[in-house]
Amino acid sequence: MRDGQPVVTLPTLLERRWQALRRLQARVDDAVERSLQGEHGLSVSEYLALAALAFSDDGGHLRQQVLADAIPLNHSSVSRLVGRLERAGLTERYHCDTDRRGVYTQLTEHGRRLLERARGTYLQALDTELRHARQDPQLADLVAQIDSDADGCLGYVGQSHD
């Protein structure tokens, strides 16, 4: 017990690292979601869908299955997500000319402009929350690994690190 609260210690290092990764993702997602919703009215999934479309090497459009893999979400969740984005005028759907079963999602100009405005918010929230997570002893090693894999980009929002 710590401070009168039970402590959970999973038995293997693999389980503890997996749990730390899940905790980190939940923590970062919550913080990024609050920032994106508050400033741009976007969820994390909506932002990630717009970003996947904008940064695809296929001209701003993707088949829905490719989009589902990029976010990642299951097919039915992506269909609902794309529907919301389409109703907001951020994307549009169309059928493939050669395979009428294939449905593509295309980023609209309105979607591209919103993504450009939201990207700074997303990166700043991501950076801030990862830097805060460094202070958590259970997450510090994981964040340090992410930072080293990203060429030490934490704390340098706005700079390109390809």
Q: Residues 23-62: pLDDT tens digits?
A: 899 999 999 999 999 999 999 999 999 999 999 987 788 9
Q: pLDDT category, 155, cuts 50, 70, 90?
A: low
> What is the structure's pLDDT at 57?
86
Q: pLDDT category, 90, cuts 50, 70, 90?
A: very high
- pLDDT exceeds 50 at position 161: no
Q: What structural domains and CATH numbers belong to the chain?
A: 13-149 (1.10.10.10)
> What is the structure's pLDDT at 160?
46
Tokens of 125: 């929230």
HEC sequence for the chain: CECCECCCCCCCHHHHHHHHHHHHHHHHHHHHHHHHHHHHCCCHHHHHHHHHHHCCCCCCEEEHHHHHHHCCCCHHHHHHHHHHHHHCCCEEEEECCCCCCCEEEEECHHHHHHHHHHHHHHHHHHHHHHHHHCCCCCCHHHHHHHHHHCCCCCCCCCCCCC
Tell me the pTM. Answer: 0.82
Lowest mean pLDDT among 2-11, 64-73, 84-93, 150-159: 150-159
> What is the structure's pLDDT at 154?
56
pLDDT tens readout for residues 112-135: 999 999 999 999 999 899 888 888
